[in-house]
Structure 1
Amino acid sequence: MSLATAAVENLGLRQFSSKTTNESVEAHCFLINFHRLLKSSKEFAVDLQIKNKEILHAVVALYNSCLPNIEPDVLYSTVCGKNSWTLVVLLSPETALEKLCTDKKCEPDLDILEPSYGVLRNVTAQNYVTDNALHNTDDGIGINEDIPLHGFLKVVQKTYTELEEEKAQEICPNCRPSKFAGVYSDEEDGAESSSEDESSDEEEDFSEGADEFIAEVARRRHVRNIYAEKTKRIKFSSVHVENRLIASLTYERSFAIPNEKVFHITVLSVRMKFRKLGLGQFLVDEVKSKKDKFDTLAVLADTDAVQFFKKQNFTQDYLICSRYEDLIDTWTDCVIMIYIPPVLDPEKIELEKDLEFVDRQTKFLQDGSLKLYHQQFGLVTQLKNEAVATRKIIDMQKKIIHSLIKEIMSNEENQQTTTSSKN
Structure 2
Amino acid sequence: MMAYSNITYTLPAQTFKRTKTSNRKTNLIFSAYPLFVDFYRLLKQKTDSVVPGVSKWDLLNVTVGLYHTYLPDIELETLRENICGSAAKTILFLRDSQDVLMEYQEKHASLCSSNHSQTSSLSSVPSQSNEEEEKRVSLLSSLFSDSESSDEEVGESESDREETEKFHNSFQSFLENAAARRQQRANSYPSQGVIGVESCLVAALTYQRSALKSKEKIFELSLLSTRRRYRCCGVGSYLLKMLKDVSLVGFYDSIVTHADSRAILFFKSCGFSDDVILNSKFRDLEEDWTNTTTMSYFPPFFAVSQTDTTDLEMEMEQWKMKSTAAHQAQAIFMNRIFQEIRTWRSQVESQKDQINSLTAKLEKAKDENDFLEKKMLLHLKKVQSPLDNSDIMPGSNEKDGFSKTMDLADSFEMRTFNSGCIEQQMEVQGTLLATLSQDHIQMIKAHVSDLVAPMVHQQLYYCGVNQSPARLEEILHTGFSMEDFHLGEYGAGLYFTASPVAARNSLQHYQVLVADVYIGRIEVVHHKQASRTCPTEGCDSLLIPGRTFSGTFPHLQKEFLIFSHLQAIPICILKYTK
- Taking structure 1 as the reference length, the TM-score comes to 0.60
Name the counterpart of 1:381: 331
Matched, 1:207 2:197: no
Name the counterpart of 1:234: 190
- What CA distance in whole angstroms lies between the structure 2 residues aligned with 1:257 and 1:368? 14
Matched, 1:6 2:6: yes
Give 1:50's aligned amino acid: V
Instruction: Give deviations 1:370-400, integer Å, cap 9, x for gaps.
Output: 775554333333344556678899999xxxx
Name the counterpart of 2:222: 266
Give 2:17's aligned amino acid: S
Q: Do the aligned residues in 2 keep the contact of 1:77 with 1:202 (CA within 8 Å)? A: no
Aligned counterparts, 1:21-420, within 5 A: 22-45=27-50, 47-105=51-109, 178-179=139-140, 204-205=163-164, 207-208=167-168, 209-226=170-187, 228=188, 233-290=189-246, 292-344=250-302, 373-385=323-335
Q: Percent identity?
A: 24
- What CA distance in whole angstroms lies between the structure 2 residues aligned with 1:366 and 1:238? 57
Q: Do the aligned residues in 1 keep the contact of 2:181 with 2:194 (CA within 8 Å)? A: yes
Tell me: CA distance 1:65–1:372, structure 2 relative to 1, closer, same or farther (3 Å): closer
Displacement of 1:256 in angstroms is 5.0
Matched, 1:17 2:17: yes
Aligned residues: 291
Q: Do the aligned residues in 2 keep the contact of 1:38 with 1:52 (CA within 8 Å)? A: yes
Displacement of 1:211 in angstroms is 1.0
Name the counterpart of 1:357: none
- What CA distance in whole angstroms lies between the structure 2 residues aligned with 1:373 and 1:42? 51
Displacement of 1:7 in angstroms is 0.9
Displacement of 1:225 in angstroms is 1.8
Displacement of 1:328 in angstroms is 2.3
Displacement of 1:178 in angstroms is 3.9
SS in 2 for 1:30: strand
SS in 1 for 2:273: coil
Displacement of 1:304 in angstroms is 0.9
Q: Which deviates more, 32-41 or 377-386? A: 377-386
Name the counterpart of 2:495: none
Tell me: CA distance 1:181–1:298, structure 2 relative to 1, closer, same or farther (3 Å): farther
Q: Do the aligned residues in 2 keep the contact of 1:64 with 1:178 (CA within 8 Å)? A: no
Tell me: CA distance 1:68–1:341, structure 2 relative to 1, closer, same or farther (3 Å): same
- What CA distance in whole angstroms lies between the structure 1 residues aligned with 2:44 and 2:252? 26
Displacement of 1:16 in angstroms is 1.2
- What CA distance in whole angstroms lies between the structure 1 residues aligned with 2:211 and 2:322? 26
Tell me: CA distance 1:235–1:365, structure 2 relative to 1, closer, same or farther (3 Å): closer
Q: Do the aligned residues in 1 keep the contact of 2:34 with 2:91 (CA within 8 Å)? A: yes
Q: Larger Cα Rg: Structure 1 or Structure 2? A: 2
* Unaligned residue ranges in structure 1 (runs of 5+): 108-167, 169-174, 183-199, 349-363, 397-423
SS in 1 for 2:262: helix
Give 1:321's aligned amino acid: N
SS in 2 for 1:61: helix
- What CA distance in whole angstroms lies between the structure 2 residues aligned with 1:275 and 1:59? 17
Q: Do the aligned residues in 1 keep the contact of 2:90 with 2:205 (CA within 8 Å)? A: yes
RMSD: 3.9
SS in 2 for 1:282: helix
Tell me: CA distance 1:224–1:286, structure 2 relative to 1, closer, same or farther (3 Å): same
Instruction: Give deviations 1:179-212, integer Å, cap 9, x for gaps.
Output: 1799xxxxxxxxxxxxxxxxx9965416232111
Q: Do the aligned residues in 1 keep the contact of 2:251 with 2:304 (CA within 8 Å)? A: no
SS in 2 for 1:12: coil
- What CA distance in whole angstroms lies between the structure 2 residues aligned with 1:224 and 1:292? 42
Give 2:65's aligned amino acid: A
Tell me: CA distance 1:180–1:13, structure 2 relative to 1, closer, same or farther (3 Å): farther
* Unaligned residue ranges in structure 2 (runs of 5+): 21-25, 112-134, 144-156, 307-313, 347-578
Name the counterpart of 1:192: none
Give 2:108's aligned amino acid: K
Give 2:290's aligned amino acid: T
Q: Do the aligned residues in 1 keep the contact of 2:184 with 2:190 (CA within 8 Å)? A: no
- What CA distance in whole angstroms lies between the structure 2 residues aligned with 1:6 and 1:370? 37
Give 2:252's aligned amino acid: F
Tell me: CA distance 1:48–1:294, structure 2 relative to 1, closer, same or farther (3 Å): farther
Tell me: CA distance 1:346–1:9, structure 2 relative to 1, closer, same or farther (3 Å): closer
- What CA distance in whole angstroms lies between the structure 2 residues aligned with 1:331 and 1:366? 33
- What CA distance in whole angstroms lies between the structure 2 residues aligned with 1:178 and 1:221? 17
Query: Which structure carries more relative contact order (alpha carbon 8 Å, separation 6+)?
Result: 1
Tell me: CA distance 1:65–1:374, structure 2 relative to 1, closer, same or farther (3 Å): closer
